Amino acid sequence: MRVAVAEDGALFRQGLVLLLEAAGHEVVACEAGGDPLVAQLSTIPADVALLDIRMPPEPDGGLVTAERLRAAHPDMGLLFLSHYAESHYLMRILEIGTDRIGYRLKEKVGSVEVLSDTLTRIADGEIVIEPELAKRLVERPRSEKRDLVASLSERERDVLKLMAEGRSNNGIASTLFVSAKAVEKHVANIFDKLGLHADTSAHHRRVQAVLTYLRSQRGDA
């Protein structure tokens, strides 16, 4: 895969290039900030751009850079790597795009298998969210009023958590050891209970289900 990197920490940037190359990927651009990467990628094609969130242009250059890259190259995957996994950034990231996009902790992509799996899923169009963040958001008990999940069964909650990690129905089925048909039924029930009806595409509703849930958990109106 052709990948581009923007990261202001020299040590992490060098480590990332070494690991990407060990995993058999081609690093087509490698910069210390967002602006030079955008300039490079105006002429060099790349499949996925790996972006630090906290880098120049300050304070959260990764997000600004991602917006510009998404506008100029809609098919390019975007993977945010950060020292922090925060729901605030997850919401901002999902505002930039809900496909070909990912958000992972820097120390969780330190093997060729995990790094390649993350990049492949993004290039295939999925959302990849740090599992710990998805879990934290889905499992916290809340007050009755906001606890949309209170209306979900335990199994539906498991399915929603895996949806929040960006898993496909088949992926969820194999994780939970149930049939894909059973997962489809759970997903339909989740859409129904969260009030997401069939006027939009399945992918869009899937993202909406996750976003509705995340918003409810954050105490937003």
Partner 1 sequence: MTPGRDDARRSAERWRDRQTLERRLHDGPAQRLSALTLRLGVLRADAPGRNGDEAWHRGLDVFQSELESALQELREVAGALYPPLLDEAGLGPALRELVTATGAVARVDVADVRCGTAAEGAAYFAVAGCLAAADATPGRPEIGIRVRVENDDLVLTLSGVDPDQRRPVLDEAAPLGGCAELTGPAEITARFPCA
Residues that bind partner 1 (CB under 8 A): 9, 11-12, 14-16, 18-19, 22-23, 54, 59-60, 83-84, 86-88, 106-112, 115, 136-137, 140-143, 217-220
Q: Cβ of residue 144: shortest distance to partner 1, in angstroms?
A: 9
Report the Cα 167 to chain-centroid distance in Å: 10
Q: Which is nearer to partner 1, 91 or 178 (CB)?
A: 91
Q: Cβ of residue 64: shortest distance to partner 1, in angstroms?
A: 12
Task: Provide the residue count of the chain.
Answer: 221
Q: Cβ of residue 37: shortest distance to partner 1, in angstroms?
A: 19
Q: Which is nearer to partner 1, 119 or 187 (CB)?
A: 119
Cα–Cα distance for residue pair 159/191, rounded to 1 Å: 12
Q: Which is nearer to partner 1, 142 or 204 (CB)?
A: 142
Q: Cβ of residue 22: shortest distance to partner 1, in angstroms?
A: 4
DSSP 169: H
* Residue 60 phi, psi (nearest 5): -125, 65
Q: Is 183 exposed, middle or buried (0-12, 13-18, 19+ CB in 10 A)?
A: buried
Q: Which is nearer to partner 1, 13 or 205 (CB)?
A: 13
- The secondary element (H helix, E strand) that includes residue 17 is helix 10-22
